[in-house]
Structure 1
Amino acid sequence: MNESGLLIVLSGPSGVGKGTVRKAIFSQPDLDFEYSISMTTRSPREGEVDGVDYFFKSREKFESLIEQGKLLEYAEFVGNYYGTPVDYVRETLDNGKDVFLEIEVEGAKQVREKFPDGLFIFLAPPSLSELKNRIVTRGTESEEVINNRLNVAKEEIDMMHLYDYVVENDQVEHACEKIKAIVVAEHCRRERVEPRYKRILEVE
């Protein structure tokens, strides 16, 4: 019997660098996570690839999947839907593989309700001024959208208490090392390890 995989949820306010940290983690050869690609109705940014960074869907298609119950979580954020396909996540965890989700804060709340045993990590900015600087540097949003994102970010930071760990994204390399250490520690939790040893004792 396989030990169930660990659901790792990385979340945080828009502009904090979730995508950058996730890509850095997955560029390291010593990790064996399965990345669950999120689905969104927003347009691709420059360099983003459908099926690699996101599954880009029309609003009509996304709403159809909501009705069919095919999403583990979903949220509407600044006029666009974001969500996680449910079947892939459940099958991968059952096969003993860790699944890594990079999602918005509202979506993480929904996942916590369905998978309370998951590992929830909040990626925090060093400061609000640095967060604004990162959003502005993107060059993809209007001033109105930037201010909207900052207001939402303040609300999201206030929801930090819903997470197990907080990692400050001061430098991408430091954030990656902290996240890796947290995952190793979670795999060593007595609650996860003990059932396997009890099965060994029963066999002997």
Structure 2
Amino acid sequence: MDGKMQRLIIICGATGSGKTTIQNYLASKYGFERVITHTTRAPRKGEEDKKDYYFESEESFLKNHFVEQVKYAGFQYGSSHEGLKRAFEKSKTATIILDTQGAISYTKIVAAFEMIFWYIEVPSEKQLEMRILNRGQSEEEVKKRLASVEARRDMKIPQNLEPFCEIIENALWKDTKRKIDKLLEFGRDN
């Protein structure tokens, strides 16, 4: 490292809002490293351990050193100090996807890096539903997921997170990319 401040871009929003698409865009266009988080849920089709998540058992999950952890739709999720360290070893700017409760946890920590918070929103719940259906989940699974307490909570930005967040509407991908590029003009030196 050459002494430049490390940055963590925290991406939160409703399920299906496009958080992973945005994170993948930041990795491919800017070379930002993903912070891989932990979960006890089973991998979805095409997901890989240590690439998409650290897929854990209930027992192995509890052995990590978490910055934050939450239960979401019946499964444990969390981000670890080790995951942050691994990402910052590869890039001065890293990205992490969190639910809004996880993002709130990051607002309360004193960190040795700059934190940037983005809340991703979509114009309608119907659009969220279609995006999740396109992931290959059944209509029943999608309805159940969107009805969960956590999903309902994440459909709007919590009041205590609002002062920290830049709100990005992700209705049309070309407009979203333009907004992201504009927000990142501050430093292409990752």
- TM bin, normalised by shorter chain, reads 0.7 to 0.9
CA RMSD in angstroms comes to 2.7
Which of the pair has more CA radius of gyration?
A: 1
Secondary structure at 2:62 match in 1: helix
| Distance of 1:6 and 1:125 partners within structure 2 | 25
The reply to whether residue 132 of structure 1 matches residue 117 of structure 2 is: no
| Distance of 1:141 and 1:78 partners within structure 2 | 16
Which TM-score applies when normalising by structure 2? Answer: 0.80
Contact 2:119 2:157 (C-alpha < 8 Å) held by counterparts: no
Shift, 1:88, TM fit: 4.3
Task: Specify the alignment match of 1:177 in structure 2.
Answer: 178
* Amino acid paired to 1:14: T
Task: Specify the alignment match of 1:49 in structure 2.
Answer: 48
Most deviating of 166-175 and 6-15: 166-175
Q: Which string of whole-angstrom CA distances, capped at 9 and with x for unpartnered residues, describes residues 143-200 of structure 1?
A: 2662442454342233354142011111334323322322333x59xxxxxxxxxxxx
Shift, 1:78, TM fit: 0.2
Indicate the structure with greater helix content: 1
* Cα distance change, pair 177–59 in 1 and its aligned pair in 2 (3 A): farther
Q: Which string of whole-angstrom CA distances, capped at 9 and with x for unpartnered residues, describes residues 80-104 of structure 1?
A: 1111121342576599811211222
Q: Return structure 1 stretches of 4+ with deviation > 4 angstroms.
A: 90-96
Gaps of 5+ in 2: none
Gaps of 5+ in 1: 189-204
The reply to whether residue 37 of structure 1 matches residue 44 of structure 2 is: no
* Cα distance change, pair 85–57 in 1 and its aligned pair in 2 (3 A): same
Which TM-score applies when normalising by structure 1? Answer: 0.76
Secondary structure at 1:138 match in 2: coil
Shift, 1:71, TM fit: 1.2
Q: How many residues align structurally?
A: 181
Residues 1-204 of structure 1 aligned to structure 2 (within 5 Å): 2-28=3-29, 31-65=30-64, 70-89=65-84, 97-115=92-110, 117-141=114-138, 143=140, 146-150=143-147, 152-161=150-159, 162=161, 163-185=164-186, 187=187
